C-alpha cells in the first residue's frame, strides 16, 4: 500500500501522531491529510508562522480570555471569505483566530491544545485546553448554535465530565453579532461568556456570567 503525504510539510514527524486520516485515493494508493482544517492551519502556523510570544503568562483565566480577544486581528476577520450564505463567519474562523491570538498571549513554554478529550477518557472534545498547571478548558461557539447541547455536556453526568476532572476553570464562549442581544442574566449559566461583535470586527464586548461587561478594541 502506497501512502501519499505530499500535502503535509515535514510529514515524517506526524505520521504516527493520530491527527492524520485517510481521505481516499486510488486502489492500493492511500492519501493522508489532516482530519480538520483547523489542525492543518495550526500545524502550518507552528512550523512556518512567526508569532511573537508573551514574556509573562496572564495571571487569571479572565485575563487570558480578555487578552486573547485583544490580540485578534480584525483585518483577518474582515477579509475572510470563509462565510456562509448568510454572510456570517464560520465557527472555524473564530477558532483559528482564537488559537493564533492565544499563542501571542501565552509565553513560549506554554501552549494551548486543540480538540482535547481522548487523553482524559472523554468521547467528545473541548475546543481548547491550556495545561501547565492552569488546566483551562474553552468551548467556542457562534451565534448560540448548539449552546444548550454544549451546556448539558458540562453538567453532572454530561459527556465532558472526564475532562472537567482535569479542569480548574472552563468557559463556553459564545461569539455573536451586535444584532443579537445576550440573554438576561438569570438565563445565563455561570460559565457562559458572551462576546458581542461590532459589525466591522474592530471591537467586541465581553459579557461575563455575573453581568459585568468589558469593551475591547482588537489590535
Task: With beta carbons less than 8 A apart as the criterion, state whether 210 and 169 touch.
Answer: no
pLDDT of residue 2: 42
Asked whether residue 58 falls in the same domain as residue 162, the answer is yes
Residue 24, class by beta-carbon neighbours within 10 Å (0-12 exposed, 13-18 middle, 19+ buried)? exposed
Asked whether residue 43 falls in the same domain as residue 1, the answer is no
Q: What is the count of structural domains for the chain?
A: 2
pLDDT of residue 126: 95
Task: With beta carbons less than 8 A apart as the criterion, state whether 128 and 138 touch.
Answer: yes
Asked whether residue 12 falls in the same domain as residue 46, the answer is no
**Distance (Å, whole) CA 76 – CA 73:** 6
Reduced to 3 states, what is the DSSP secondary structure of residue 79? helix
Task: With beta carbons less than 8 A apart as the criterion, state whether 37 and 63 touch.
Answer: no
Domain that holds residue 123: 36-217
Asked whether residue 156 falls in the same domain as residue 117, the answer is yes
Q: Block means of pLDDT (10 residues each) for the chain, length 219 residues?
A: 47 52 63 67 58 85 96 93 88 93 92 93 94 93 90 90 96 92 81 93 94 91
Asked whether residue 84 falls in the same domain as residue 183, the answer is yes
Task: With beta carbons less than 8 A apart as the criterion, state whether 129 and 140 touch.
Answer: no
Asked whether residue 11 falls in the same domain as residue 55, the answer is no
pLDDT of residue 41: 62
pLDDT of residue 46: 57
Q: Taken in order 83, 33, 112, 100, is the CA torsion positive or negative?
A: negative
pLDDT of residue 3: 42
Asked whether residue 30 falls in the same domain as residue 40, the answer is no
Asked whether residue 82 falls in the same domain as residue 188, the answer is yes
Asked whether residue 71 falls in the same domain as residue 61, the answer is yes
pLDDT of residue 149: 92
Asked whether residue 17 falls in the same domain as residue 66, the answer is no
Asked whether residue 99 falls in the same domain as residue 18, the answer is no
Asked whether residue 74 falls in the same domain as residue 122, the answer is yes
Amino acid at each position: 500500500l502506497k501512502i501519499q503525504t505530499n500535502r503535509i510539510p515535514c510529514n515524517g514527524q506526524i505520521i504516527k501522531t493520530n491527527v492524520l486520516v485517510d481521505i481516499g485515493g486510488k486502489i492500493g494508493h492511500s492519501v493522508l491529510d489532516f482530519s480538520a482544517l483547523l489542525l492543518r492551519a495550526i500545524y502550518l502556523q507552528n512550523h512556518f508562522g512567526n508569532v511573537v510570544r508573551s514574556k509573562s503568562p496572564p495571571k487569571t483565566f479572565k485575563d487570558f480570555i480578555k487578552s486573547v480577544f485583544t490580540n485578534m486581528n480584525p483585518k483577518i476577520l474582515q477579509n475572510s471569505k470563509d462565510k456562509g450564505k448568510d454572510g456570517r463567519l464560520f465557527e472555524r474562523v473564530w477558532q483559528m483566530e482564537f488559537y493564533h491570538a492565544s499563542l501571542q498571549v501565552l509565553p513560549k513554554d506554554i501552549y494551548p491544545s486543540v480538540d482535547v478529550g481522548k487523553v482524559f477518557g472523554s468521547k467528545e472534545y473541548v475546543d481548547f485546553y491550556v495545561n501547565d498547571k492552569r488546566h483551562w478548558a474553552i468551548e467556542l461557539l457562534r451565534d448560540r448554535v448548539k449552546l444548550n447541547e454544549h451546556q448539558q455536556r458540562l453538567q453532572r453526568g454530561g459527556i465532558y465530565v472526564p475532562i472537567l476532572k482535569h479542569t480548574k476553570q472552563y468557559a463556553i464562549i459564545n461569539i455573536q453579532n451586535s444584532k443579537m442581544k445576550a440573554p438576561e442574566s438569570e438565563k445565563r449559566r455561570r460559565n457562559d461568556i458572551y462576546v458581542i461583535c461590532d459589525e466591522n470586527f474592530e471591537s467586541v464586548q465581553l459579557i461575563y456570567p455575573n453581568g459585568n461587561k468589558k469593551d475591547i478594541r482588537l489590535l
